[in-house]
Amino acid sequence: MVEEAMNYVKEKMAEAVKNGIDPAQAQSMAGQKTETIQKRNATSKEQAASILFLASDDASHMTGATVQTDGGWTSF
């Protein structure tokens, strides 16, 4: 089993949800992107690329791994 671990993904739908929530929670969510090494949220294309890799023959020898696509979040 190989899994893909995502962090926050910047999407129009996520932005819409963010705009409809409590201001304190929105501020907390906005701060999440500054807490990664890359200082930004992932795009859906970036997340999809890692998922497609894991589903491809190129990842056929990977087992029991978690691929972190979180902009460096886990390195803190």
Written as tens digits, the pLDDT of the chain (76 aa) is 555 565 555 555 566 566 776 666 666 666 665 667 887 778 888 888 989 999 999 999 998 888 888 887 777 6
**Considering the entire predicted model, what is its pTM?**
0.56
| pLDDT value of residue 5 | 60
**Number of structural domains the chain divides into:** 1
- Given this model, what pLDDT does residue 14 score? 63
Domain that holds residue 30: 2-75
- List helix spans (H) across the chain: 12-19, 23-32, 44-55
